[in-house]
Every structure is written in structure tokens, then in C-alpha cells.
Structure 1
């Protein structure tokens, strides 16, 4: 009996994949050639939760069934636009138009147009996590904006959220497994009343409570034989979250300081204009300086808007991604912990031996599928992340250089005009 138990447990910890030597070393290792391929298609993704409880096939068979050939042509295009504010006696909320164009045969039409609010996107994310617990689903933008950044219902916040929601659904559409999820199809195609009906078909309260109790029990028990590669993933995510959190705070501080600098410049310009009224000999130079400051203000406004709308959201998204990854790794650990508890029960003869053996076999397959799914999606996510972060840093460098060149050109133009005026005065005097 003990030999059976130990051999079953060993099948979890003894993964055939070689452990990654040092994931932290590759935190932001951005190769020149292949890291810019943001939406790569992996051909071996699968998910244990999408299979029936009986698990009639081996993990290898199920993985082969779900192998997908790489797609060079995208077949689902989604646009999120036209936000509209709605005010009722109970609440105020914003809806977004979601337009889907597709060539997939499982859709009844080639184009759909629906309106969705934030809580609908939240429902979709929850359903995807429920159906695919060890796939990495990109985070949604936060429900409430960070204090001091912007008001919840102003145009800037709504536009930033719209971009984030569009990115969220298109990441799902680009995924070789998530894009075929039935709830995703319903989200894209169903009218509001149909979606509301679909939401009511979720698992009952007792079922949800049972799942929660099992998850809590598994987390309390912990994993006894976690493979080294998943421990390395945990370490990577912890370090990644800390670094992205630090970059996020620095980026927000830069935006705040740039806004303060902009306000100072706006106050400075009128001073030169007033000064020109009391200095007959300096009227033109002082007015020219005021004009230069005004032009610099316009350039700085563009720079602040670019940082707020493009660079900062990307960094903050990956702060949220760190929490998503932690949740995925916890769900994988819970699956393994449930399996290990059954192995222990069999070893201690605490329950019916034959039934336990059958359940252990099913759970062993589930663990193996969860491991394989996470490993493949992990590599896919890392490539996406590296491409996004590299692109954000390069864009930030390019835009900052362009803005500083514009400001430099403004002041160089002023200096040139003053030198020209000096030469003209000398020629006149001579």
C-alpha cells in the first residue's frame, strides 16, 4: 500500500520537464528578435477543468486533442468604443459598444454589435477563470481609479478604461483556448436580456460554497511535493510584482511632477507678458519669451497625456498581472493538494480503497493536465509581457526625446530671432 502511495505522489513531483535554472534572471530579458512577437500562438495549450469529471482519456490524449495549429491570420476582431453614461435612480454607470467581426464557422453571423458595462466584463473574466483555472487571463482595469489620479466618470478615465477593456477582450480573442470558450461567444453576441439570463445560470450558492470550502481546505493543508519549477514560478512572480510595483509608483510620480511643472509654467508665461508692458526697450523679447513658454506648455501637456494614457496603464496592468499569476499558481496548488490528500487517505486506509484508487487516478490526470497547461501558458504570457514592457519603454524613450526636441526647437528659434534682431540693429547704426 505504501509503495502504491509513494509512486503516485512521485508522479506529481517528478515532472519530465527540466526545471528552469533561474527565472529571476530572465525577469526582463528582452531578446532583439523574438520578444517583439507579442501575440504568439502556442500549439499545446489545454485545461484540465474543461474535461468531464470521469476523465476517460489520458492526459496525453487530451492534450493532443486540444493541439491547435498556429494561425497566421487572426479570425476574431473586436472593437470597444462609443462609451455612454447612464444615470438611474439607483446607480450611475457607463456602457461600451462591443463590435465583433469574425470568419469563424461556429458564429451565426460575421458581425455583431452589443453594449456591455464593466460588470459584464467582470462576469466574463470570472467564467473564464472558473472554466480554465490554470490559464493566465489578463487582468481587467480596476473598478475604481487610484486616488488623486482622475475622477471616475471624466472623459480621461473613461477613455483609459475603454482602451484597457478593448485590450482585455482582444487578448482573449488571440488565445488559442480561451477564444473558443462558450461564455466568451455569448459575451460577444448575446443581447442584454440574453446575457442577463445567462448570468443567472451559474452554479448555485451551495455549489459555490462547496468549491470555496475545498479550496480553503487545500490551501490550509498546503502542497507536500510541489515541483521545483512551480516553486521557481512563485519566486519569479513575487520578484516581478515588486519590481513592477516600484516602476508603477515611479511612473505615477513622474506624471504628478510633470503636471506640477506644467502648472508652474502656465503661471510663469503671463508674468513676462505683464513685464513687457513696463519695459519699452524689452517689449518684443519679453513677449517672445511668453510665447515660447506658452508653446512649451502645449508640448508638455501632450507629454503628460501620453504618459497617462499609454505608458502608465501598461506598467499598472502588469502590477495587476502579478496578482493574477499568484491566483493561478494557488489554483494549481489546490488541485495538487486535493490529489495528495486522497493519496494520504488511501495510505492510511481511511476510506473505501477501490473508490479512492479511482478518484486518485482522476485527480492525478487533472494535476498533470493543470501542470502542462500552466507551463505552456506561462511561456506564452512571458513572451507577451516582455514584448509589452519593451515596447512601452522604447515608446517612452522615443516620445520623451521628441518632446524635448520640440521644446529645444522652440527656444533655439527664440535665440535665432534675437541674434537676427541684434545684427539688424548694428547694421542700422552703421
Structure 2
């Protein structure tokens, strides 16, 4: 369906029959350590400087109004060109038997209005769930729609760990140069965001998640207007600030959640440092690669004036060129595998802090009521009833957070192991390739030297 100017139409399709497990082809679910084959960003992209977060303007994008996405699939050739082919991206034999919903975010399109320029993404859903009216849906969503979904999930499940969205930021001086790269990076992050929700045992059945996947643009706009109003949100913010001003920490925080707070503090520091160092290493590798690109041709030019050394100099130039190409491939793998994993969990650390604060806020309410009852500031019967409700609320919050915490840690460990293992394998392949290149050169030089020695000995009387 072609989107209208509003930026997000939706269409449902008649129920198709889902293919059997043998129909799966290439897995498209994006996990750290699984770069999309030939779908690579331009080699050695410049790293734009992050200036500021755009929290005020709800839908400002960073694209010029003449930005063209006519060849948008050029940077993602593995993405299906039609929703019907989406199902072939998954290896059904690798999926758990209980998986009954598959989501793909693809086909970004630029929309230009008199006021703004923004991007919409196609969201294709295939499912066998009974609560859905159809087995296949195709809608277009813009970034602010994803923000709405995340906000609704946080409101409905305050002590569950909601997956992070990519930040909405403004870049300086690189509008024309990084469009495709930026769009593709965001598309991957949005794809992962929806699939994280779909795989979550609770969030996947959220009513707003279903609405996001299925309804047309005007219906989604209607649902968005039904959210909490400005004054309600301001009231919640003031209440939260007042609570934090009263104490800052809760009384008698249970030991598991005290350990969680300590863990998140350390995790945030370590993952942030690892992200910074990795990007610094990438920059140094890029500088090294640029030097190699200048180093090789010098040997070729030199060979033109040194007849006796011509073959040797050309051989060195060829080896340097091969090593340069191998370095570029290793850097692309680094940016496709390690960077997304580290950055996603850097965002997760902020989300975890927010979840723990919301849990503490619930317990702080209970502590305040207990103190009021102890001091007999109000009627005991009314307070006892409120305390009973708050105790149940705290227990539910603790149980849901504990279960989600265990699930998150398991997922984080798997993702980090996969990313580091893939980076290690790429490094091994890189060094093996470079070593083989130079060993081949040395072998050829020894052979040449041996032949020359034999010819010289034969010429002697």
C-alpha cells in the first residue's frame, strides 16, 4: 500500500497459509553478531558527531527536503520487496515451537510536507494468533508512532523492562552524507525493538502493541489522542519529583533490588566505557587503513624506476592492497556486530535505572502510609485498607521485575557472547588472511631468488 501524506496507512490481508518449517530461507531477525550479508553500509563511513537529544520537537527528522530514497533498498538488498516474501526470511526450524508472530520493519520512505520532512517504515506482521482478525498486516509507521508505543508499554507495565528505541538526535554538518546509513541503522533498531516486544511473554499480548501492528493511520492517531493528557503527565511528574525530594531512597529495600541497583551502576559504567573504547579503536583502524591506501601505490610508482626491484615492489604493493581490503571488511564487521550490541545495552542501562526507580516509588508510597498509620495522623481503618492495597501492588511489582530481570540478564549474556565471539572470529579470519598474503609473497620471493642463484651459478665458468 502506498502511504499517503499523513505518513502511515495500514492494510490487512486475507489469511494466507503459513509455510511449513522447510520454507525458511535466510534468518532476518537481527541479533548482535549477525550482519546482513552483503547489506553493508559504505566502507569506512565518517562518524558524525552527536550534538544533542531532540526531546522537545516530537517529530523533527534530520533529512533535507530534497532527500531522495528512490534507491532505498540498495543498502538493504536482503529485505523482501513484498510483504508476501517476508516469511521466507525466517528459519522456522530454528524458532521455538511457540513462536506465532513474525515482524519485519523495512522499506523506509521519505515524506516531504510544507512543514517537515520525515521517514516512514513499513511494518509487516504475520501471525497465527486467534485474537488477530487476519494472518497478515502491512502498515506504515513513523518514528513518533514507535515512541507512542514505548510510552504506552511503560505506562501499562511500569516494572517491566521495555526494550530501548534508537535516540532521536540531530547531526551537524552531515545531512547529505549519512542519510542512507542513518536510515538503515534506525530501521534495524526499530526492527529489533518490535521483535524484542514480540518475544516478551507479557508485552507481546499488550493491546496497544496489537493496535500498533494492525490499525490504519487515522485509527492510530485516534488511539494516540486517548493517552494521558498534558496536565495528567505533569501531575505524575510533579508527584515523582516530590517523592524523590522526600527521601531519595526507600526504607528497607529488599536485598535482591539493592543488588540490582548496584549491578546496574557497575554495568552502566562498564558498557559505556566499552562503547567509547570500541569506537576509538574503530577510528584508529580507519586512520591506519587510510595510511595503507597511500602506502601501497608508492611501491607501484617506485617500481617504474627500479627495474631490478620492479617485481618485488609490485608484490609488496599487492600485499598491502589485499591487507587494506581485509581491514575494511573487519571494520565493517565491527560496526555491524559489536557497535549495535554495545549501544543497545547502553540504552538498556538507562531503562533499568528507570524501572528500579518506579519500583522504589511504589514502595515509598507504602512506607509513607505505614509511617502515617504508626503516627496516627489519619483514620486507622482507611489507612489499613490503603496499606493492604499497596502491599499487594508492591508484591506484584517485585515479582514482575524479578522475573523480567532474570530474563533480561539471560538475553544480555547470550547477545554479548554472540557479539564478542563473532568479532573474535572476524579478527582470526583477518589475521589469517593477512598472514597468508605475506607468506605467499615471501615464498614467491624465495623461489625467485633460488632461480636467480641457479642461473648465476650456471653462467660462471
* Same fold at TM > 0.5: yes
Q: Distance in 2 between matches of 1:234 and 1:148?
A: 39
Correspondences of 1:7-18 after superposition (within 5 Å): none
- 2:141 matched to which residue of 1? 116
SS at the partner of 1:299?
helix
- 2:434 matched to which residue of 1? 407
Tell me by how many angstroms 1:148 deviates.
10
* Residues 123 and 81 of structure 1, relative CA distance in 2, 3 Å threshold: same
User: Retained in 1: the 8 A contact 2:330–2:426?
Assistant: yes
* Residues 367 and 343 of structure 1, relative CA distance in 2, 3 Å threshold: same
Tell me by how many angstroms 1:415 deviates.
1.7
- 2:370 matched to which residue of 1? 343
* Residues 199 and 262 of structure 1, relative CA distance in 2, 3 Å threshold: same
Deviations 1:244-271 (A, max 9, x none): 1111111111111111111111111121
Identify which of 299, 308, 316 aligns with 1:281. Answer: 308
Which has the bigger relative contact order, CA under 8 A and spacing at least 6? Answer: 1
- Structure 2 gap ranges (5+): 1-30, 32-95
User: Retained in 2: the 8 A contact 1:272–1:286?
Assistant: yes
Deviations 1:328-371 (A, max 9, x none): 00000001111221222223333343332222211111111001
User: Retained in 2: the 8 A contact 1:276–1:286?
Assistant: yes
Q: Distance in 1 between matches of 2:385 and 2:283?
A: 60
Q: Distance in 1 between matches of 2:186 and 2:233?
A: 30
Tell me by how many angstroms 1:229 deviates.
1.6
Q: Distance in 1 between matches of 2:100 and 2:176?
A: 37
Identify which of 170, 179, 183 aligns with 1:158. Answer: 183
- 2:349 matched to which residue of 1? 322
Deviations 1:53-81 (A, max 9, x none): xxxxxxxxxxxxxxxxxx74311111112
For the aligned residues, what is the CA RMSD?
2.3
TM-score, reference length from structure 1: 0.79
Q: Distance in 1 between matches of 2:153 and 2:412?
A: 20
Query: Which segment drifts farther, 333-342 or 152-161?
Result: 152-161
Q: Distance in 2 between matches of 1:354 and 1:72?
A: 51
User: Retained in 1: the 8 A contact 2:337–2:422?
Assistant: no
Higher helix share: 1
Q: Distance in 2 between matches of 1:324 and 1:151?
A: 32
- Structure 1 gap ranges (5+): 1-35, 37-70
Identify which of 204, 210, 222 aligns with 2:235. Answer: 210
For the pair 1:272 / 2:272, whether they are aligned, the reply is no
Q: Distance in 2 between matches of 1:149 and 1:401?
A: 34
Correspondences of 1:81-92 after superposition (within 5 Å): 81-92=106-117
- 2:286 matched to which residue of 1? 259
Q: Distance in 1 between matches of 2:117 and 2:390?
A: 46
